[in-house]
Amino acid sequence: MTLETLFNPSSIAIVGVSHDPKKVGYLVAKNLIDQGFAGEIFFINKNAGEDILGKKVYPSLEAIGKQVDLVVLAIPAAPAIPYLDEIHKNGCKNVVLFAAGFKEVGADGVENEQKLQQKIKEYDLNLLGPNCIGYINTKQKINTTFLKHVSPPGTIGFISQSGAIGSVMVDYFAAHKNLGFSYFISLGNKSIIDESAALEFLMNDEQTNVIGMYLEDVRSGTVFMELLRKISQKKPVVILKSGKTEEGSKAAVSHTGGLVGNDDVYDAAIKQSGAIRADSYTEFMTLLKLYSFGKVPSGDQILILSNAGGIGVLYADDVVENGLRLETISPEMQAQLLSSVSETKKISLHNPIDLLGDASAFEYKQAIETTLKEKDIGAISVLLTPQANTQIEETATVIIDTAKHFDKPIYPIFMGEKSVGRAEEMFEENRIASFDTYDGLSAALRKVLWRASVIGKSDTIQQSTTLSLMAHDAEIVALLGQSSYKPFLNLEDSLKVLTYVGVPVEPVTFISSAEQLSPAIAQNGYPLTMKIASDVITHKTEVGGVLTYLKTEEEVLKGFEGIVGTGKAKGVYLQKMVKGNELFIGAKRDPLFGVVVVMGLGGIFTELLKEVTYRIHPFSYEEFERMAGETKADRLMKGFRGSPPADVQKLYEVLQNVGSLMAKYSVIKEIDINPLFMLGSELRVVDCRIIINST
Amino acid sequence: MTLETLFNPSSIAIVGVSHDPKKVGYLVAKNLIDQGFAGEIFFINKNAGEDILGKKVYPSLEAIGKQVDLVVLAIPAAPAIPYLDEIHKNGCKNVVLFAAGFKEVGADGVENEQKLQQKIKEYDLNLLGPNCIGYINTKQKINTTFLKHVSPPGTIGFISQSGAIGSVMVDYFAAHKNLGFSYFISLGNKSIIDESAALEFLMNDEQTNVIGMYLEDVRSGTVFMELLRKISQKKPVVILKSGKTEEGSKAAVSHTGGLVGNDDVYDAAIKQSGAIRADSYTEFMTLLKLYSFGKVPSGDQILILSNAGGIGVLYADDVVENGLRLETISPEMQAQLLSSVSETKKISLHNPIDLLGDASAFEYKQAIETTLKEKDIGAISVLLTPQANTQIEETATVIIDTAKHFDKPIYPIFMGEKSVGRAEEMFEENRIASFDTYDGLSAALRKVLWRASVIGKSDTIQQSTTLSLMAHDAEIVALLGQSSYKPFLNLEDSLKVLTYVGVPVEPVTFISSAEQLSPAIAQNGYPLTMKIASDVITHKTEVGGVLTYLKTEEEVLKGFEGIVGTGKAKGVYLQKMVKGNELFIGAKRDPLFGVVVVMGLGGIFTELLKEVTYRIHPFSYEEFERMAGETKADRLMKGFRGSPPADVQKLYEVLQNVGSLMAKYSVIKEIDINPLFMLGSELRVVDCRIIINST
């Protein structure tokens, strides 16, 4: 489906155009005319006898007597549905439908939604909505929304599951210069055009150099990820997703009637695709502004020039806390800088460089030009506070002029409000991203730099797993099938399955009578671990079902009697005891994104510490490294307090194999491996549970 | 020292008044006249023949012929120092000194600083500065700074170690209504008037209902904490402190030449005193605004009314992530709310309550009035986005009117910019704290609620420790003295000292020959732990110096030979092996705040996880509970996965006793207890190191 004609029509018919200036049918008509759309516009209202806004009103689409490119339906749900027949007769393929009253209102609207879907399919329509506010195309001056303020033409393509967020952005842009939409697309219920379709359209749009999205859910996780990955290589995509918390999700479900997946999974999907997730509306706007104005830093070294020590120090804290670097400039540059300011001035040459309260525009200029030559610098932030004789606009001019001759970005941070307003305007007029406070910028730049580090990299996904899955298919199927009536496979079988897919395990011996102990001890060797064998107990440790450091036959027998003799269970597992640093590895199935693999700190504190990280299966080794770096497990893997580093390539393969296992056998619901021990370069799973779908 | 006449003078003499409109001597003179100070003003400049700003210029202070309340010195450091003689002769006690060139410039300025200090003491002067920008008293219309914009008279008392931050705030306030300083006090080098002196003045000022501070360091930790604690009971104190990171601290040191203490210690000191630390400039301003306008929430239940689903959901996430609550209103209120809007409107009654895009001012009014009756609500946030027919100013009026009749705060969040500017002004005119985005508010409210929860509570500090310290003073002194030539006490002695101050330990037996093993085994019982006894090894586990789960004489002997036989050490400690959840407890000495007690997750992962929390010794049991709640150790203490809850009262006593031990014996530099085991209701320290001051 191409959306070219939908978003770039030559002719538009508005159905339901109205005299009443409060009605959408009036507002949209007025916007289309006022904002200067150069194509043909047709007004349609079967009841309107006279002209509206000085324009003829047709009684029907048919009465126009020609095919139009786009029909905007500003009529309620009930008449809108049969109107698709008219549209089909006209030969038009593109529709914007504002009306609410579909699936978003719950049971009452489901029938409407179904009827709508049916006609969309039957007539092969590109329908935007329903329950949306339309779209804006600033280049062609098409505004099919009711938003009367005009967003200046810009380079931000914005796709939104909420019309209101678009309205907030338009209202904000309307008070600013050069910052605006290329397209704003309100998705509404996404009956046919969803986030992926809109993404694909913006991917190929040359006006758009950054894509912003507000999402509550996605239609298809895999399609979305694939597309996002492709686009992220071409242009940045910044996503503001709601539903981080359960309360948020609840509201989201009732809002658009969509299915909201587990937020951690979305987070992983977005990251893995090279897109950026914004943490708040403010950060979202900051990122869009940074990208929209073009230049972004190529390195994480930030140089701060300031006329205020205090704010410089606060900003320095913020830079460092966000993982950026603040290094002192080279002695040569220091000397240059010193010679460029008045001899008596005791400027501080540390980074932040304090040009002192009386810094003139000329001194700022000297300092910027000197420091920009420093090779290692990613960006310069110019902090200015309005003091006694601060040359605010002169300094702005200096920055604007200098910025023209350098590739590296300069970020002015002019603090205050009354005196600095004009300077802010000047920066926008010259497409320089400026800020009214230091806070927030570093966090956004950290994300910009993260993106630069992940895109354009080879992203090979290990395929070895498939082979071992093939080789042991029969055995795995047998084990899974055998246990399909139980909620989970027992420890012995779970470990066997892992072995079949190439995951190293420490095997167990099942013991149900005292006579079996001696041979099992001989087979495994001391020290031993004894674990209760039970189909119902989920937390073995909590019921005293795990004994460790067993070193004598006497201890083993005593342990066995304590568990089996007291009727707690019919048997125990004996296992050679393993020591090392513990990892947790798991996999679950997400309805939208498929298999999700989890890794983190293992042992009994997994739940307490929640040091875990997620990825959608499969993923590359590079992605695995980033994944590991997100938790403190990373330091354990690299060798911690005397323990040698683990074989991380091997660990990556374990994660891939566990993911492939789940991907191939849909009967598996979840896999919990806890712990996997890292013993120097060896890995060993000692406990595992494979949970089977009950349905 | 009373600062009443310094900050509320009836007569002011400006020394160094100037014709040059760029000089501070001109700007201050002009400000004092322009901003309407009603008292007497005298201009002094020994070189100026003619009038300045239409006012007579005296050649000297003496020439005025009368005593003045305040002398403002707008002259450089060199002439300023001897000028204090003139001021003394005049009988004036209050001085504002702008000049730089004192300790903040390093070695060159130290002599100046010393001379200045000497005269201040000799003449008993209240001197503000040097290296400051003066102060503003909005009520008396006194502006001794060069800041030409006027901050509207307000209720915020601001004490700042950076003049520039004051200038930023004045510039911001100048563009706003009703939001402003009662006093702005620029501290500069704090030669005599420091943060504590300024705090004490503002504590008793009736104009001031919230105190803001920008700090880089404090003069005296204990004086500061005591004062802060006292003031926090009367009015909120919000602190923006720089130097969170090492890089930040570096800049701060070079900025004011002050000593910057460890930031974690400052953090603890601020919290323990009931003051609020802001995380950023933006949060600082948000908190000042919330308090300045009076009403703050009494409970953590936030009700969101919105005309936009999407933003409502994002805001809901933010509320929950910041630990506030979002509960659905009662069925009665739901019914009332439903009956108050149009019958066909499908508003969402979950919290956030979505009044839909066409919400009228009347519907907002109905919704606010209905929901404010809900007993449990702490605050209502009214989200508004500018949509088709949104009644922006009408809704503002509704909020303003309704707010007058309710005690609970209503926070308007009108998003966008172009259409909502007038509404923002209306809110400020009516002293209602409004915001242009949802993000940031929840985090600030969380801090406001935290303050409400800690002030006004009985804060009894356990004193039992002192007694046991007295009882065993001789033994402790002997142990500490004996080991004073070593960097730390050995394990046996460290545990003994802890025992003397009432801390429960698992004792150890020192073994240096194989013959001693049998009796030691008998004394301690299996299973045993063996630990290397060494004066030099700091990480025993990393060198294989800790053996656990020893259960036979053979194992013990083998272990002993492995350590002592190989010459790694002269002996080992045997200790009955203890199991349980592990805590880390420590104490260190801070040059500013004294003894600092640390607690967190113990075991070998203390360093990896950094789950630790700090407090200045001593502190109350209530403070201990808050301290514990800051780390994941809290859940371990409350009983985790089958382990029973620990005796937290006893744990509190351990922390107090460890703190008292350090407080009493200054020869102790640090104490490290790791781990302390929680065994049900019992506590047991198994490893400890008492580090001795090497000087």
Relative to beta strand A70-73, strand A57-58 is: unpaired
Q: Given a cut of 90, is residue B228 above it in pLDDT?
A: yes
DSSP conformational letter for B432: -
Phi/psi for B47 (5° steps) reads -100, -20
Would the CB atoms of B250 and A438 count as touching at under 8 Å?
A: no
Q: How far is B51 from B676, CA to CA, in rounded Å? A: 76
Q: What angle do CA A232, A233, A235 make, to 5 degrees?
A: 60
Q: Torsion angle, CA of B469/B471/B475/B480, rounded to 10 degrees?
A: 10
Residue of B nearest to A251 (CA): B313
The pLDDT tens digits of the residues spanning A562-586 come to 999 888 888 999 999 998 899 999 9
Cβ contact A310–B27 (<8 Å): no
Angle B441-454/B281-292 helices, nearest 10 degrees? 60
Q: Where are the beta strands (DSSP E) in A474-604?
A: 509-511, 528-533, 546-550, 571-576, 581-590, 594-601
Residue-level pLDDT at B384: 98
Indicate if the pLDDT at residue A247 is higher than 80. no
Token representation of residue A192 = 């046919």
Half-sphere exposure of A610 (CA within 13 A, CB side): 4
Residue of A nearest to B633 (CA): A608
As a three-state string, the secondary structure of A2-48 is: CCHHHHCCCEEEEECCCCCCCCHHHHHHHHHHHCCCCCEEEEECCCC
pLDDT reading at B257 higher than 50:
no
Contact B418 A171 (CB under 8 A): yes
CA distance B162 to chain A (A): 5
Question: Cβ separation of A105 and B542 shorter than 8 Å?
Answer: no
Interface of B with A in 418-477 (CB under 8 A): 418-421, 437-440
Q: Closest-CA residue in chain A for B555?
A: A551
> Do A657 and A502 touch, CB atoms closer than 8 A?
yes
Among A340-354, A653-667, B678-692, the minimum mean pLDDT is found in: A340-354
Per-residue pLDDT, B462: 56
With CA atoms as reference, report the closest residue to A601 among A583, A628, A625: A583
How high is the pLDDT of residue A259? 34
Tokens 């036959």 belong to residue: A553
How many CB atoms are located within 10 Å of the residue A82 CB? 10
Phi-psi region of B138 (alpha: psi -120 to 50; beta: other; left: phi over 0): alpha
Q: Give the pLDDT of residue B483.
A: 56
Across the interface, whether the CB atoms of A164 and B357 are under 8 A apart is answered yes
Count the helices and strands in chain B (H runs, E runs).
26, 27
Give tens-digit pLDDT for B91-115: 999 999 999 999 988 888 899 999 9
Mean pLDDT along residues B244-260: 52
Q: How far apart are CA B285 and CA A300, in angstroms?
A: 29
Q: What is the mean pLDDT of residues B311-319?
A: 94
Give the full edge-to-edge strand order of the sheet including B210-215: B142-143, B135-137, B181-186, B156-160, B210-215, B237-241, B276-277
Element (H, E) at A680: none
- State how far the Cα of B290 lies from the Cα of B271, in Å rounded to an integer: 19
Residues 479-518 of B with CB under 8 A from A: none
Please tell me if residue B570 touches chain A, with a CB cutoff of 8 Å. no
User: Token pair of A434, please?
Assistant: 């400026």
* The predicted structure's pLDDT at residue B542: 73
Q: Which of A163, A245, A439 sits opposite B320 (nearest CB)?
A: A245
For residues B320 and B176, what is the distance between their CA atoms, to the nearest angstrom? Answer: 31
Q: Give which of A117, A227, A158, A213 is closest to A7, Cα–Cα.
A: A158
Task: Say if the Cβ atoms of B162 and A438 lie within 8 Å.
Answer: no
Long-range contacts of the stretch A397-406 (C-beta < 8 A, 24+)? A397/A361, A397/A426, A398/A361, A398/A362, A398/A364, A398/A365, A398/A368, A399/A364, A399/A368, A399/A427, A399/A432, A400/A426, A400/A427, A400/A430, A400/A432, A402/A365, A402/A368, A402/A369, A402/A372, A403/A430, A403/A432, A406/A372
Amino acid present at A296: V
**What is the H or E stretch that residue B458 is in?**
none
Q: Which residue of A has its CA nearest to B635?
A: A608
Separation of CA B112 from chain center: 32
Give the range among A42-46, A451-455, B379-383, B543-547 with minimum mean pLDDT. B543-547
Residue A628 C-alpha from the chain's centroid: 18
Closest residue of chain B to A634, computed from CA coordinates: B608
B23: its two tokens: 């000089």
Using CB atoms, pick whichever of A165, A280, A555 lies closest to residue B310. Answer: A165
pLDDT interval class at A609 (50, 70, 90): confident
For residues B679 and A244, the model is more confident at B679
CA distance A684 to A495: 11
The rounded percent of chain B whose pLDDT value lies above 90 is: 75
Q: Are A285 and A172 in contact (CB under 8 A)?
A: yes
- A243 with B313: Cβ contact below 8 A: yes
| B129 contacts B191 by C-beta, under 8 angstroms | yes
Q: Can you list the positions of beta strands (E) in A77-205?
A: 94-97, 126-128, 135-137, 142-143, 156-160, 181-186
Which one of A24, A214, A417 has the shortest CB-CB distance to B171? A417
B243 touches chain A (CB under 8 A): yes
Burial pattern A422-452, b for ≥16 Cβ within 10 A else e, equals ebbebbbebbbbbbbbbbbbbbbbebbbbbb
In this complex, do A167 and B386 lie within 8 Å of one another by their Cβ atoms? yes
Q: What is the pLDDT of residue B654?
A: 95
How would you classify residue B512: left for phi > 0, otherwise alpha for psi between -120 and 50, otherwise beta?
Answer: alpha
Point out which residues pair with A673 in neighbouring strands.
A585, A688
Q: Which of B635, B646, B633 is nearest to B679 (CA)?
A: B646
pLDDT at A695: 60
Residue A314 has pLDDT above 70, yes or no: yes
Query: Positive or negative, the Cα torsion across B355, B360, B362, B368?
Result: positive
Interface contact A552-B551, CB threshold 8 A: yes
Per CB-CB distance under 8 Å, the chain B contacts of A105 are 346
The closest CB to that of A314, out of B175, B242, B386, belongs to: B242
Quick one: B88 exposed, middle or buried, by C-beta within 10 A (0-12, 13-18, 19+)? middle
CA distance A19 to A14: 13
A164–B308: do the CB atoms touch at under 8 Å?
yes
Burial B226-265 (b: 16+ CB within 10 A, else e): ebbbebbeebbbbbbbbbbbebbbbbbbbbbbbebbbbeb
Selection from A518, A473, A479 nearest residue A495 by Cα: A479
Question: Does residue B1 have a pLDDT over 90?
Answer: no
Would you say B70 and B142 are in contact if contact means Cβ atoms under 8 Å apart? Answer: no
CB contacts under 8 A, B 633-692 vs A, are: 635-636, 640-642
Q: In the prediction, which pLDDT does B641 show? A: 75
Q: Do A240 and B149 touch (CB under 8 A)?
A: no
In the block, tokens 């307000």 appear at B154
What φ, ψ does residue A73 adopt, rounded to 5°? -95, 105
| Whole-angstrom distance, CA of residue B452 vs CA of residue B236 | 9
Closest CA of chain A from B695, distance in Å: 30
pLDDT at B568 over 90: no
For A618-632, what is the mean pLDDT? 93
A269-278, B208-217, B453-462: least confidently modelled range = B453-462
**Owner of token pair 């410039």:** B105
Phi and psi based region of residue B131 (left: phi greater than 0; alpha: psi -120 to 50; beta: remaining): left
Q: How close is the nearest chain A Cα to the Cα of B452, in Å?
A: 25
Query: With bands split at pLDDT 50, 70 and 90, how would you rate the model's confidence at B254?
Result: very low
Find out whether A421 and A392 touch, Cβ atoms under 8 Å.
no
CB < 8 Å from A in window 328-387 of B: 346, 348, 350-352, 354, 357, 385-387
Amino acid at the residue B308: A
pLDDT at A391: 97
Q: Per-residue b/e over B542-554, b at no fewer than 16 CB within 10 Å?
A: eeebbbbbbbeee
What pLDDT band is residue A540 in, cutting at 50, 70 and 90? confident
Distance of residue B278 Cα from the nearest chain A Cα, in angstroms: 11
- Please compute the mean of the pLDDT values over residues B186-206 and round it to a whole number: 96
pLDDT exceeds cutoff 80 at A202: yes
- What's the average model confidence in pLDDT over A369-385? 92
Q: Which residue of A has its CA nearest to B314?
A: A242
Q: Is A558 on the interface with B (CB under 8 A)?
A: no
The runs of H, that is alpha helices, within A483-620 are 491-500, 517-524, 553-560, 606-609
Check: CB of residue B586 under 8 Å from CB of residue B675. no
**Which residues, 6 or more positions from A538, have their beta carbon under 8 angstroms from its beta carbon?**
none
| Per-residue pLDDT at A248 exceeds 70 | no
pLDDT, tens only, B371-400: 988 888 999 999 999 998 899 999 999 999
Of A2-16, A181-195, A219-233, A633-647, the one with minimum mean pLDDT is A633-647
In Å, how far is A243's CA from the nearest CA of chain B? 6
A100 CA: distance to closest CA in chain B (Å)? 10
B308–A438: do the CB atoms touch at under 8 Å?
no
What integer pLDDT is reported at residue A256 of this predicted model?
36
By the CB < 8 Å criterion, does B307 face chain A?
A: yes
Q: What is the pLDDT of residue A347?
A: 81
Q: Round to whole Å and give the CA distance between A592 and A600.
A: 23
Q: Burial level of B507, CB count in 10 A (0-12/13-18/19+)?
A: middle
* Binary contact (A316, B348; C-beta < 8 A): no
- pLDDT for position B661: 94
B143 contact partners, CB below 8 Å, separation of at least 6: B28, B31, B32, B35, B37, B134, B136, B137, B150
b (16+ CB within 10 A) / e for A140-174:
bbbbbbbbbbbbeebbbbbbbbbbbbbbbbbbbbb
Cα end-to-end span (Å), chain B: 37
pLDDT on residue A469: 64
Asked if the Cβ–Cβ distance from A555 to B552 is below 8 Å, we say no
In B536-555, the residues whose Cβ lies within 8 Å of chain A are 539, 541-543, 548-549, 551-552, 555
Mean pLDDT score, A267-273? 95
Q: Do A352 and B244 touch (CB under 8 A)?
A: no
Which of B168, B309, B354 is closest, CB to CB, to A311?
B168
What are the φ and ψ backbone dihedral angles of B431, each rounded to 5 degrees? 55, 45
* Interface contact A606, partner B, CB < 8 A: no
Summary mean pLDDT of chain A: 91
- Cβ-defined contact of A310 to B162 (cutoff 8 Å): yes
Closest residue in B to A420 (Cα) is B171
Q: What is the pLDDT of residue A536?
A: 73
Residue A319 with chain B: CB contacts under 8 Å: 247
* Residues on chain A touching B421 (C-beta within 8 angstroms): 175
- Range from A447-451, A478-482, B53-57, B363-367 carrying the lowest mean pLDDT: A478-482
In this structure, the strands spanning B40-44 and B11-15 are parallel
Q: Which of residues 246-305 of B touch A (CB under 8 A)?
A: 246-248, 250-252, 254-256, 280-282
Does the distance separating the beta carbons of B350 and A162 come in below 8 Å?
no
